[in-house]
């Protein structure tokens, strides 16, 4: 039981590190394209997000959940899209509809959605196969 919890925590830390690397990379790509190459802001953002999705997929599948045999790009895309929708709806409800200050949406963005993503990635996207030894 303690060993399983330690493995869970280790995966959670790796997940966080990949997340930080992903955000830093996304910001760097965005700034490089928007500020130095003078691309439109939306184009710069779209390229940065798409690049970060590739980085995070490979980081999570090959390092964070390296002990998993199942890797599904389709399931990964579903989780990413679902979490984006959840964050968008939640932020809209908190800030635009309920008129709370924008900072009230931060726990949703930085705690709830990342943790839900972690659990879905661990148990659905990068899961152990049924034929474990």
pLDDT score for 20: 95
Distance of alpha carbon 125 from alpha carbon 118, whole angstroms: 10
pTM over 0.75: yes
Report the range of poorest mean pLDDT among 10-14, 60-64, 65-69, 94-98.
Answer: 65-69
Final residue of a structural domain among 21, 36, 67? 67
Tokens 């599948």, residue? 61
Nearest in space to 52 (alpha carbons), one of 83, 68, 28, 82: 28
DSSP 56-91: HHHHIIIIITTT-----HHHHHHHHHHHHHHHHHHH
Q: Are 32 and 59 in the same domain?
A: yes
Q: Per-residue pLDDT for 133 more than 90?
A: no
Helix axes 73-91, 41-59, angle to 10 degrees: 130
For residues 85 and 115, state if they share a domain: yes
Confidence of residue 130 (pLDDT cuts 50, 70, 90): low
Listed residues 67, 97, 117: the one ending a domain: 67
Assigned domain for 62 exists? yes
For 124, other C-beta atoms within 10 Å of its C-beta total 14
Neighbours of 5 (CB within 10 A): 9
- 97 and 77, same domain (yes or no): yes
Per the domain annotation, does 27 fall within a domain? yes
Q: Is residue 34 part of a domain?
A: yes
Choose the final residue of a domain: 67, 83, 116. Answer: 67
Choice between 47 and 128, residue whose per-residue pLDDT is larger = 47
* Predicted local confidence at residue 67, as pLDDT: 81
Judge if 62 and 1 occupy the same domain.
yes
Write out pLDDT tens, residues 74-121: 999 999 999 999 999 999 999 999 999 999 999 999 999 999 999 999
Looking at the fold, whether 84 and 57 belong to one and the same domain comes out as no
Confidence class of residue 132 from pLDDT cuts 50, 70 and 90? very low
Nearest CA-CA partner of 62 in 43, 76, 48, 45: 76
The tally of domains found in the chain comes to 2
Considering the domain boundaries, does residue 55 fall inside one? yes
- Domain region containing 96: 70-128
How large a percentage of the chain has pLDDT more than 70?
96
- The verdict on 78 and 54 lying in the same domain is no
35, containing H or E segment: none
Instruction: Name the band, by pLDDT with cuts 50, 70 and 90, for residue 68.
Output: confident
């Amino acid at each position: 039981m303690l060993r399983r919890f330690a493995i869970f925590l280790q995966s959670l830390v790796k997940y966080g590190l990949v997340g930080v690397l992903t955000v830093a990379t996304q910001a760097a790509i965005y700034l490089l394209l928007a500020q130095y190459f003078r691309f439109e802001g939306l184009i710069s953002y779209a390229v940065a997000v798409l690049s970060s999705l590739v980085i995070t997929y490979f980081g999570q599948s090959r390092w964070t959940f390296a002990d998993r045999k199942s890797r599904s790009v389709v399931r990964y895309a579903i989780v990413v899209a679902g979490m984006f929708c959840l964050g968008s709806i939640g932020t809209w409800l908190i800030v635009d509809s309920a008129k709370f200050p924008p900072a009230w949406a931060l726990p949703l963005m930085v705690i709830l959605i990342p943790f839900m993503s972690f659990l879905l990635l661990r148990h659905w996207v990068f899961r152990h196969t049924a034929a474990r030894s």
